[in-house]
Amino acid sequence: MLILHTKNEIIDKATVIRGGTWFTLPNNNIVSPAENGWTDGEYFLSETPAPPAVADGFYIETKNLEVVDGLLQWTITTKPTPDASTNPVDYDLTPRQFHIFAAMWEYDDAIDAVLAGIKTMSIAQYASIKGDMLGAKVFRFSVVMGLIGNANLAPFIPDGTDVTLATMSDRWLLAKAY
């Protein structure tokens, strides 16, 4: 794509000119064909340069196309790419991700057992939790840990199901990729 500019500024950043077409100058002169390197007095057509590559570990925060010494160039600001969080609380799971998480490590059995235990104590609380789980659009780690990682509900967890914070955290982070 071609950009119309003077030696000092871009005429209109929103207007991009395709090569081979006609275009209108600010003085209303019609020019054809549009080609990279075309010039007429104070006006120039130049190919839009590719934005510069950035070093690994950085991303482009802002970029601005400018004319410097009659040439188009990008001015960019970069920032370090933030490290991905390893805190499972920072990641909600979709229903699909959650159900894979629960099935892969048999947490679905632990959830069913805890819900059955809650049902014997309070049908209203059981109904509320069951309804929340069935209608959930996202699953939050803290809520799931509160349900099956809760020490008060540990007697309901099937033997051999590892609901420790460390293990569930690692598995939750794996599940976010499903």
Domain boundaries, the chain: 2-80, 88-175
Based on its alpha-carbon atoms, the radius of gyration of the chain, rounded to whole angstroms, reads: 30
CA distances from 174 to 5, 14, 94 (A): 51, 43, 13
Give CA 158 to chain center in angstroms: 37
Reported residue count of the chain is: 178
Look at the pTM and tell me if it is higher than 0.85.
Answer: no
pLDDT band at 105 (very low <50, low <70, confident <90, very high): very high
In this predicted structure, the answer to whether residue 14 has a pLDDT above a threshold of 80 is no
- Give the three-class secondary structure for 76: strand
